[in-house]
Chains A and B, each alone.
Chain A
């Protein structure tokens, strides 16, 4: 940020223009989010049941109520560029309790999809994509887990792609169809070289 009045940077940030202008709102963003999420954020009356239910909110700056508000007002850039977007654990507690029968979790998921289209996504999410591509699991089995499973009398690997590796190409085909792996690889390379 340009130092117009010569204040220290922290103060400059605090004094920045905070008006919400009419042109910030994009009604088509509301429509798109509703179409992808198949839920109705425009009906939100901001009671806060979602944030109060949220396991992430008490330990982070993530406020799902704010994201639903942004969806309602069509504040596209503000919603998609906020790193908090990626702090939802998708536990669906808010969806269970919302008195307006909105599915706030699905609003978040829709926004994440839209953000990804603009290459806005944390790298750890992309690594998950890569893990799924190679193993079929977002969190692949590891030696500690295998030992625990054996100890509990189960097979070392679960009856998934870990046991039936011949199904991995099927998963890869799906990810390739949506160019998810290619995009993930590209973005990771751009960020990490």
Chain B
């Protein structure tokens, strides 16, 4: 077990002092409701949101009702409460009416809670003396055609919010220092770009990759649309940069094992899988002069075990000791221990370099990082599940990724495009778009995979360019050429002679002798069913989240949407963030993206992930649990319940009581709801506050 720690104590100490200062006044108030009982004066502010709210309910009736709620000292309404004049209304009312709490009845707190907290603060109150009543998303939008019902529901919502606002207390956000290091999981183009950006910004970055080399899917591609750059040619410089960057610590053939902690202080354990080969640095560290793997490949030549190379989509053999392709970074062989027979031939040929260790075991490395970026990428949808197209049943039905390898000069055929059954160059090639995408049958993916249209156009171009006389047929439902210069590319390919048939292929049959394929489709523009004999079929298969995405996302506490893609904090305004503070998303793991979008998303994620690191500390919402020591019996049952390992039993005044690590606590309330002695006080969601809300609802305003 190797311990690694980045030295960034200066920033840490600064952060801590700030934290202590800010948090000082909070403690005294636990479990008491000091001012609230004296005289609560709540101001209620009702937002029209243009006609979004006002169009579905009677604002005047709601306002008149709000005046009758106990403890309400002031009621007002405004067309847009979130606008500057709207906020000024709140501001002024707090001072004029000596308010102790503010209720804004408007949209979801997910949108404008921060806005109104700031307004409350500017009015001279503690920002946590603000409560929001959602009368838009949960009311006017869903009860658009029930004016009366919506009005009554708004009254309820405001009454409940006032009940809580009456009992709200001053709270002070906690500040925690941020470790000046970041982690990127997955080293495809997204992960590499994010890591390079972070490293160039001066941040120590751990780049974790589960396969033996970086590069990801992009390194499997031949050319890239619409500019037709050679994919490897534009990718390998970046791979080399990643390998050379002083700030990037590259860990290939490694996986994240566990994650503990919170934004600013993630403790990540990484499993370095046994690759059976020592790098030159490792060799040197072990005192073998001039030792370690130099990538000479002698071992590969003698290895007797032959397996399919996954990088070549299984179309080329590899040995049990292998590199996936000549341009791997790092240039370091890897032993596939699942198939290695330990014959020792490689050890003997390696000789004095002593690079091969057949008894190597997995190693665990612990690192501490401030923020993390997930860039776990995608896999191809197993398109053989759509049996009507015959993939894996008919030899000459291939996927687009197989096409990329077959047409690539460094691929299994040296770039000679041949069909698998007989090695003959095809004359007529059918491309099936939306193969498994835009499919609502359950056996397929409901979404658009977003880059298949464009790469299929590119494939058609490559055929026409490389093999004059070949006729590509593109079976499409819609061509989605939305990017910069994409529509122009579509025009170009049509001009070059690709035939576009608007119709989805219903099924494919194989001629058992010639191995040619009969493609059945409806030319919907001509309104005639067609049967087309072709030599090769290329399925533009859908993409789906990479196999281990689910495991990784659970480690980092990130949610996923129904189709398995990782869930962003907001689809439009926060596409790189997640609901877990300090964890960001880059590239296709968030949803299908082409290369430009992936790189943009990676740079966005890197920028977002560097902000807390550069600031040096983060403010956490003060929604943590607190222990009322006098009531705590020290049973310790809450400690194991906590999903964030935030609780511990400690000795205090000669007896055991529970203590909360506030920065770890997410305020979920599991412990507070459970504690048999009622000794746990949930800030901002305290039992008396919640009971008051329930009472206000059930008693209909009668106290």
Name A residues whose Cβ lies closer than 8 Å to a Cβ of B. Answer: 43, 45-54, 57-58, 63, 65-66, 93, 97-101
Q: Which chain B residues in 498-518 approach chain A with CB under 8 Å?
A: 502-507
Please, could you name 26 A-B residue pairs with CB atoms under 8 Å apart, sorted by A? A46-B524, A47-B434, A47-B477, A47-B522, A48-B506, A48-B521, A48-B524, A48-B529, A49-B505, A51-B524, A52-B504, A52-B521, A52-B529, A52-B530, A53-B520, A54-B529, A58-B529, A58-B531, A63-B527, A65-B522, A65-B524, A66-B527, A97-B507, A98-B441, A99-B439, A100-B440
B503 — which chain A residues lie within 8 A by C-beta?
Answer: 47-48, 52
In the complex, the chain B residue whose C-beta lies closest to that of A43 is B440
Of the residues B388, B440, B502, B529, contact of A97 by C-beta under 8 Å: B388
A97 touches B524 (CB 8 A): no
A39 to chain B, nearest CB (A): 12
B692 to chain A, nearest CB (A): 47
A49 touches B439 (CB 8 A): no
B86 to chain A, nearest CB (A): 41
**Which secondary structure dominates where chain A touches chain B?**
helix
Q: Which of A43, A47, A50 has the most CB of B within 10 A?
A: A47
A97 touches B506 (CB 8 A): yes
Task: Report, as a range, how many residues of chain B touch the other chain.
Answer: 20 to 34
Q: Which chain B residues in 511-559 approach chain A with CB under 8 Å?
A: 520-524, 527, 529-531
Beyond A48-B504, A52-B505, A101-B440, list 8 extra A-B contacts (CB 8 Å).
A49-B505, A51-B522, A52-B503, A52-B507, A52-B530, A53-B520, A65-B524, A99-B441
Residue B348 is within 8 A (CB to CB) of chain A in the complex: no
Q: In the docked arrangement, what's the CA distance between A47 and B438, Å?
A: 11
Of the residues A49, A53, A58, A99, contact of B440 by C-beta under 8 Å: A99
B244 to chain A, nearest CB (A): 47
Contact with A along B178-210 (1 / 0, CB 8 A): 000000000000000000000000000000000
B522 touches A52 (CB 8 A): yes
A47 touches B520 (CB 8 A): no
B439 — which chain A residues lie within 8 A by C-beta?
Answer: 99
A98 — which chain B residues lie within 8 A by C-beta?
Answer: 441
A96 to chain B, nearest CB (A): 8
Q: In the docked arrangement, what's the CA distance between A53 and B440, Å?
A: 18
Q: In the docked arrangement, what's the CA distance between A50 and B434, Å?
A: 16
A47 touches B529 (CB 8 A): no
Of the residues A43, A49, A58, A101, contact of B504 by C-beta under 8 Å: A49
A47 touches B504 (CB 8 A): yes
Q: In the docked arrangement, what's the CA distance between A98 and B522, Å?
A: 13
Q: In the docked arrangement, what's the CA distance between A48 and B523, Å?
A: 7
A101 — which chain B residues lie within 8 A by C-beta?
Answer: 440-442
Residue B444 is within 8 A (CB to CB) of chain A in the complex: yes
B440 touches A47 (CB 8 A): no
B506 touches A53 (CB 8 A): yes
B441 touches A48 (CB 8 A): no
Of the residues A43, A45, A46, A51, contact of B529 by C-beta under 8 Å: A51
